[in-house]
Amino acid sequence: MLNVRSVDDLTARARIRDAAMLRFGRDGFGAGLRQVAADAGVSPALVLHHFGSKGGLREACDRYVHDELRAVKSDALDRPAGEVVAELAATAQYAPLVTYLVRVVLDGGPGAAAFVDGLVADTAAYLEHGERTGTVRPTSDPQGRARYVVAGQLGLLLLTQLEAAAGRAPSPTTDPAAALAHITATTMQAGLELFTHGLLTDSTYLDAWRAGERTAPPAREQP
Amino acid sequence: MLNVRSVDDLTARARIRDAAMLRFGRDGFGAGLRQVAADAGVSPALVLHHFGSKGGLREACDRYVHDELRAVKSDALDRPAGEVVAELAATAQYAPLVTYLVRVVLDGGPGAAAFVDGLVADTAAYLEHGERTGTVRPTSDPQGRARYVVAGQLGLLLLTQLEAAAGRAPSPTTDPAAALAHITATTMQAGLELFTHGLLTDSTYLDAWRAGERTAPPAREQP
DNA sequence: GTCTATATAATGATAGAC
DNA sequence: GTCTATCATTATATAGAC
């Protein structure tokens, strides 16, 4: 686990960084330095004194998240990445960190692809471990499957954020625990069913795909 | 189908709108009016003359996409929404429209939630149709399942965009057909396997979840 | 309808006092 | 380290000529 610290005994630099993560996470990287400074209770000039430029501030946030995440990951090597992230997101202390991370992915910068690559690799490793212990089915395309699983989790995160923004679900930044409970309540059942039994009743589509290899599926009149 | 029109015989207003959709879709809504005007080959002032404000321009783009999509949808009522979107995305003429749509969702405005709601509803209806015809398994949570499927497709779209931005995959805006082919090649097999057989070997997790109802899954030592 | 020129506000960034 | 004051640039938006 990481250091649990009170809010007051942070250096101004750390306070600015935290404020930036929260503000960028909520509003995107279009948010202004003045806003970040106000959130941190300092002058705009101090932000640039500590981080040089807006880009520097952003990089500092990226580095911080990266380091924290690596610490958490080494603490949870045998668990699925999605679950660890979900647990983090439900912890008030780490929720802004996850929100920021989602924003980085949504923003689509160069760091985003690398981060997602890491998620896919972790997931692939975890699924392979499941295969060895017999709980996960073997697959002909481990990488593709891991990609699919990660994509699903990212999409779910995106959906949750949209619904929170529309006021239809608890906000992950305001009430992280409630937000996770909401995701769980609305998707766990369906997700487990899908992962247990699949969606289709038989393998005609899969067989057709395998037969035609790289051809479009028989799309026109059935799923 | 919709009107096929040449590029030249568009009114300036339409040319500006198209340029805006493309630019906003590529760069996000932070893109400036000057850039849009330059893309359309007009002066910045003309953009505001026609649309009043940047917000007005954005609303015009939203309306246009909404109308086009409704026309396409009425033309493909019995097909899965994801497939229709994928087909559109692969058509050079409509690719910018899809790119813009993805941007709207990523931006997370009020229209985004409504649009996703529509996708979920369509998917739920389509899956129910599949249940009736016997190709899709019944579920205890149709809405949740539709949400899950839509989330997966959104996540896949997001992943594709990230990889394209990182230069590791063909760009959906530059070469739409190649981009779709790439998605298909990298995920269709794994997706079909997942939808046909699921991911888990047995129903212990599902059973445990159903028994505990609304409790967290037995996460610690297996998927 | 379309332009040039301009107003006004906000942005990131700098200089220098304390 | 932290501030106030200010700069240069860009943003959206307006006024008015053609």
Candidate from B113, B154, B162 with C-beta closest to A108: B162
The enclosing domain of A109 has a CATH number of 1.10.357.10
pLDDT higher than threshold 70 for residue B151: yes
Q: Which of B78, B76, B106 is nearest to B88 (CA)?
A: B76
What's the total number of domains in chain A? 1
Q: Using CA atoms of B202, B208, B209, B212 in order, give the dihedral in degrees to the nearest 10.
A: 170
Note whether residue B9 is domain-resident: no
Choose the weakest-confidence range: A146-150, B36-40, B181-185, B215-219: B215-219
Whole-number distance in Å between B49 CA and D6 C1'? 34
* B1 belongs to a structural domain: no
Contact check, Cβ <8 Å, A162/B112: yes
Query: How far is it, in rounded angstroms, from Cα B86 to Cα B106?
Result: 17
Give me the phi and psi of B53, to 5 degrees please: -160, 175
**Which residues have CB atoms below 7 Å from chain C, the nucleic strand?**
A 31-35, 44-45, 48-49, 52-55; B 11-13, 41-46, 49-50
Asked whether residue B5 is domain-assigned, the answer is no
DSSP B213: S
Q: Write out residues 88-127 of A within 8 Å (CB-CB) of B.
A: 105-106, 108-110, 112-114, 116, 126-127
Q: Are B102 and B165 in contact (CB under 8 A)?
A: no
Average predicted confidence (pLDDT) for chain B: 89
A 12-41 near B (Cβ less than 8 A): 30
Q: Domain for residue B212, yes or no?
A: no
C1' (C12) to CA (B182) span, angstroms: 40
Q: List, for residues B171-204, the tens digit of each pLDDT value.
A: 988 899 999 999 999 999 999 999 999 999 999 9
Residue A219's pLDDT is: 46
Task: Tell me whether residue A223 is in a domain.
Answer: no
Report if residue A183 sits inside a domain.
yes
> Which SS3 state, helix, strand or coil, does residue A169 take?
coil
Which residue range is the domain that position B115 belongs to?
A: 57-199
Q: What's the whole-number mean pLDDT along residues A124-144?
A: 96
Partner B, chain A 154-213, Cβ-Cβ below 8 Å: 154-156, 158-159, 161-163, 165-166, 168, 184-206, 209-210
Residue B29 has pLDDT above 50, yes or no: yes
How many angstroms away from the CA of B218 is the closest CA of chain A?
A: 11
Q: How confident is the model at residue B83 (pLDDT cuts 50, 70, 90)?
A: confident
The verdict on A11 touching B (C-beta cutoff 8 Å) is no
- What per-residue confidence (pLDDT) applies to B216? 53
Within a domain: A35: no
CA of B53 to C1' of D14 (A): 11
| Residue B78, domain member (yes or no) | yes
The pTM (predicted TM-score) of the whole model is 0.91
* CA distance linking residue A3 with residue A6, whole number of Å: 10
Mutate to test the interface with B, among A106, A120, A196 (most CBs of B within 10 A): A196
To the nearest 10 degrees (0 to 180), the angle between helices B95-107 and B54-74 is 120
Chain B positions in Cβ-Cβ contact with residue A99 (cut-off 8 Å) = none
